[in-house]
């Protein structure tokens, strides 16, 4: 019914463990009729904010989430994006983030 209604449809999640493309593939396998542009994640919100503020982040996110940040400059970071990425939470990376 929603597809036939005059409304915009979005599938919203707070996951930071995977990029939109992987999430789309998983939802499609589960039988959802969904397009990538209908998915809005916390990574989508983070990317939008990075672009709006024009900052260069240190990305403390799972490697599977990195494709959602393609094209974002990360050299000489002046911001930090934190997601669920326990493998990146170690002294060296935390020191880098705090600097």
Architecture of 2-98 per CATH?
A: 3-Layer(aba) Sandwich (3.40)
Distance CA 64, CA 35 (A): 19
> Quick one: pLDDT at residue 89?
87
> Quick one: pLDDT at residue 86?
87
Domains of the chain by residue range: 2-98
CA 44, distance to chain mean position in Å, is 5
Q: Pick from 11, 10, 22: which is nearest to 61 by CA?
A: 22
Helix H or strand E segment including 15: none
pLDDT by residue, tens only, the chain of 99 residues: 888 899 999 999 999 999 999 999 999 999 999 999 999 999 999 999 999 999 999 999 999 999 999 999 999 999 999 999 989 889 999 998 888
- Return the residue matching tokens 């919203």: 12
What's this model's pTM, rounded to 2 decimal places?
A: 0.85
> Quick one: pLDDT at residue 1?
85
């Amino acid at each position: 019914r929603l597809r036939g209604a005059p409304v915009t449809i979005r599938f919203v999640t707070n996951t930071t463990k995977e990029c939109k493309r992987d999430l789309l593939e998983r939802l499609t396998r589960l039988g959802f009729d969904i397009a990538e542009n209908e998915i809005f994640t916390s990574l989508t919100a983070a990317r939008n904010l990075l672009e709006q503020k024009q900052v260069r982040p240190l990305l403390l996110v799972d490697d599977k989430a990195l494709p959602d940040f393609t094209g974002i400059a990360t050299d000489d970071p002046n911001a930090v994006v934190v997601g669920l990425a326990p493998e990146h939470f170690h002294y060296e990376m935390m020191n880098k983030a705090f600097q």
